[in-house]
Structure 1
Amino acid sequence: MKKYLILLISFGIAYQAVAQKDFNQWSLEVTGGFNKAMGPLSPGFLTPTLNLGHVDFGTRYMFNEYFGVKGDIGIGTFREVQGESPEFSTNYLRGNLQMVMNYGRMMNFENFSRKLGLLGHFGPGFGRNKFQNTVFNQEPDYVYNILVGVTPQYKLTERIALVGDITYIHNGRQTYTFDGNKYNAPVQPNPPANPFVHAVGGWWTGTLGLNFYIGKAEQHADWYIAADKYATKEELASEISGIKDMLKDTDGDGIPDYLDKEVNTPVGARVSSNGITMDSDSDGTPDHLDKCPFVPGPASTNGCPVEEVKDEIDYLKKAINEGYLNVYFAFDSDKPLAYSIGSANYISNFLKRNPGAKIEIKGYADELGPEDYNIKLSERRAKTVYELLISSGIEPTRLTFKGYGEDTSVDKASQDARQMARRTSFEIK
């Protein structure tokens, strides 16, 4: 059995070295816990409901996110209920080759948690019961079996998962009772002799342990969520064509046409996240022509006031409140979109010109996905901009950041609106 297990593991490592997958396929499993011999037992013999004394070792290979195979061995000892049953001790060994089903993926557990999983497994095998100090002093009892079980999972890291398992094992051709003091037959031969009755036996195990995932990919198949890979060539061509059309930027302002509300923006104009030419101080001179874009002034002075304006910060607050200074992100990402990084640069320049000002960075997410996950995502987005400002030379004591989770003020059904929700905003303290 050890030779076969070593061969199986060696094959898995060799296969993993050459295979190119989006997910890891191999895992090693170690669990330990309880057993319970249900029957047959000799009259008067009892086993504990939870008898501590079972260990499982296994290796598993997943063909895809839903199905795989597993080879494992289980060892342990059946014992009596102390004080209520005659003493006995039966050591057992079983080995099985099983089919594995990833119920967690089949039932879309990811809709409510990305850390909980559930596997099912069943398959045939063989076993041996070796008895200690029985009335027959017989040789070991060799049986065949079939088992079925379920394995709840909790992902600790991308490489390790905590698992529990409950398995029922059904023995066939079991010659002796589990205690070894009677033949597994309705009538005991006299004198004692093997009656060759091909009777059955049943027992179960309950264990707790760890899965160790092997491979170079980021995730194991147990937790991998694939995109649709089964589109036809025509469908793919149509989708690619549609994406290309969406990503066109007719006026070259950095905003793709599908988000651009002003497709004829003048060359060099500073635009908002929806592609509209910005006039931050509302003085009638667009920002790209305004020498003082956040302080109103007449066109004759290129948008700058005739008299010195000392309170520039009021106009920055106005620009922020009107949504002109935001950093935007792609779906499920904490990396800023290139076209919006200029807002962070402006905040940095403002803080350098106004050493007494402080800024809070507010992170938001759209309403897709679990709420607790979106809280963490929005905080990561805020932290990214926080670190961006620090790297530009701003003292950390002048900055704070916080994730506010989902922005429920936008239309959840609109793709454009959800893009507007994936952002960080700023507030002057």
Structure 2
Amino acid sequence: MKNFFSLLLTLSFWASIAQDNTESEINDVYNKWSFEFNFGQSKGIKPYSEGYFASHPGKFFGGVTLNHFSGGARYMFSPKFGLKADLAYDRLENLSDKSLDFELQQIRFGIQGVINGARLFDIQEKLGRFSFLFHGGFQVAQMIPQMGPLKGRDEWNGGLMFGLTPEFRVSKNLAVNFDLTILSNVRQHFNWDGMEYSADNNNLAGSMYTTSLGISYSFGSEKVHGDWAVIRNKQLEEIKALEKRVGEIENNMNDSDQDGVPDYLDAEPNSIAGVAVDTKGRMIDLNKNGVPDELERYLNNTYTSKETLIESQKETIKQFINDGYVATYFDFNKTQPTNVSTEGIDFILTYLRNNPTATVDIIGHADEIGKTPYNDKLANTRATNVKNILMKAGIAENRLNVISAGEDTSVDKDSVGARRLVRRVTFKVK
């Protein structure tokens, strides 16, 4: 018993140190106050006079004999450690034919340290609605015999107490518990039968235990009982926030078109592989004719000249367009091209002007976000708006054919960068 109490005191000390070390790290988001009421049975273990035996408190069910009542308030300084004060009433009497009759009342007041064992051992998530508390401390009591020659006399004594309280949360702030408490008096002159007492210089070592059922109700601004509140550690939250930021940076550093410019800085995330780009990821086009300079050199600077354009070069440009290298892009849920992606329209305009017999399909696309019918309509509207731009630039309507390709499912719909690549209009020369 002494070893157990020593362990309890050690755990209390450890918890208080842990409280000091982590107080600044834990958000103050749990109810600290709770009020408790218990009722049950108490039994004096020793000392007894000759012919008297330990009271037999009876059974809880059937002929119920309740001789212990207590109530108290608890305050948790941290999620693991707190203090409680309680007041208890015990009536010890004989209920057995083997003992002489006796009756003694005890009124006790205690101050105890409390440890939330589930949090101490970090098993609260596994226990769910269950929890358990360790408690231990000091108590003072008034013993009053109700029978015999000492009836009406009283004495004050004191000692130590410790116990274990399993709990079960039945609602947000209400819990039921079962408590086992052992008391050990270091100064006691009355026996538990109240019939004899020792001299003042001969203190008795008395002990008793109580078993009881009870309830505890937690008070505070939070919606969950303080013994079960989710405690958020500030340092862990900062680490998670940092991890999220790192993830965002990694995502931003993706380079979809492999041009050496991260997507979050890339004004043209669909540049042709191998074509030089500027610091914003745009393919270099010094003469502003809508054709990247490297591609223009590859075509020997002939695609804009009708007179010098030979058939093989026409086919090369046509294939270049039909393979999707010429496109214009749109922001999410928008129907007008982005400012930095109108070069594709310029390219088609130049091609159609230099090839007056050519016609072109204008093909609208959308990403997978949203409902399919809406995306089909959105893709058609994007293609129609590009057609209108070309018509206003002088291209006859009968040379332009609008097609809605609807949703493009070729990319990961959960990737923001990938979805930007499919919100586009492409062209197919006939």
Matches within 5 A, 1:14-413: 21-46=28-53, 47-48=55-56, 50=58, 52-137=66-151, 139-184=153-198, 194-230=199-235, 238-239=242-243, 241-242=245-246, 245=249, 266-268=329-331, 277-278=367-368, 288-289=378-379, 301-303=403-405
Deviation at 1:278, TM superposition (A): 3.5
Deviation at 1:157, TM superposition (A): 1.5
**Structure number with higher helix proportion:** 2
Cα gap change, 1:227 to 1:281, in 2 (>3 Å): closer
Cα gap change, 1:280 to 1:128, in 2 (>3 Å): closer
Work out the CA distance in 2 between the residues paired with 1:281 and 1:174.
82
Other structure's SS at 1:289 match: helix
TM-score normalized by the length of structure 1? 0.52
Work out the CA distance in 1 between the residues paired with 2:242 and 2:193.
69
Deviations 1:285-305 (A, max 9, x none): 9885268xxxxxxx964248x
Deviation at 1:229, TM superposition (A): 2.3
Deviations 1:148-172 (A, max 9, x none): 0111111111221111110001112
Deviation at 1:49, TM superposition (A): 5.4
Work out the CA distance in 1 between the residues paired with 2:137 and 2:369.
70
Other structure's SS at 2:66 match: strand
Other structure's SS at 1:173 match: strand
Cα gap change, 1:88 to 1:123, in 2 (>3 Å): same
Work out the CA distance in 2 between the residues paired with 1:86 and 1:160.
43
Work out the CA distance in 2 between the residues paired with 1:247 and 1:122.
54
Deviation at 1:279, TM superposition (A): 10
Cα gap change, 1:248 to 1:89, in 2 (>3 Å): farther
Deviation at 1:88, TM superposition (A): 1.0
Cα gap change, 1:32 to 1:325, in 2 (>3 Å): farther
CA contact under 8 A between 2:36 and 2:73: conserved in structure 1? yes
Cα gap change, 1:250 to 1:88, in 2 (>3 Å): same
Work out the CA distance in 2 between the residues paired with 1:171 and 1:288.
84
Other structure's SS at 2:119 match: helix
Over alpha carbons, which structure has the higher Rg?
2
Work out the CA distance in 1 between the residues paired with 2:172 and 2:225.
7
Deviation at 1:199, TM superposition (A): 1.5
CA contact under 8 A between 1:70 and 1:99: conserved in structure 2? yes
Other structure's SS at 1:112 match: helix
Other structure's SS at 2:144 match: strand
Cα gap change, 1:280 to 1:219, in 2 (>3 Å): closer
Deviations 1:183-213 (A, max 9, x none): 24xxxxxxxxx35201210001011111011
CA contact under 8 A between 1:36 and 1:49: conserved in structure 2? yes
Deviations 1:265-298 (A, max 9, x none): 953468xxxxx9439999xx9885268xxxxxxx
Deviation at 1:91, TM superposition (A): 0.7
| RMSD (Å), alpha carbons | 4.1
- Identity within the alignment, %: 23
Deviation at 1:237, TM superposition (A): 8.6
Structure 2 unmatched ranges of 5 or more: 1-26, 59-64, 256-262, 271-327, 334-365, 382-400, 415-430
Match of 1:343 in 2: none
Deviation at 1:107, TM superposition (A): 2.3
Amino acid at match of 1:94: R
CA contact under 8 A between 2:57 and 2:66: conserved in structure 1? no
CA contact under 8 A between 2:46 and 2:192: conserved in structure 1? yes
Other structure's SS at 1:218 match: coil
Work out the CA distance in 1 between the residues paired with 2:29 and 2:235.
15
| Further displaced range: 224-233 or 47-56 | 224-233
Structure 1 unmatched ranges of 5 or more: 1-19, 185-193, 252-256, 271-275, 292-298, 305-314, 327-429
Work out the CA distance in 2 between the residues paired with 1:110 and 1:290.
56
Deviation at 1:176, TM superposition (A): 1.5
CA contact under 8 A between 2:218 and 2:226: conserved in structure 1? no
Other structure's SS at 1:70 match: strand
Amino acid at match of 1:242: V
Deviations 1:204-262 (A, max 9, x none): 101111101111122343112323324699x69955742653686999xxxxx99xxxx
CA contact under 8 A between 2:130 and 2:168: conserved in structure 1? yes
Deviations 1:88-144 (A, max 9, x none): 110101101100000011223333232111011000120011001223446212101
Deviation at 1:87, TM superposition (A): 1.2
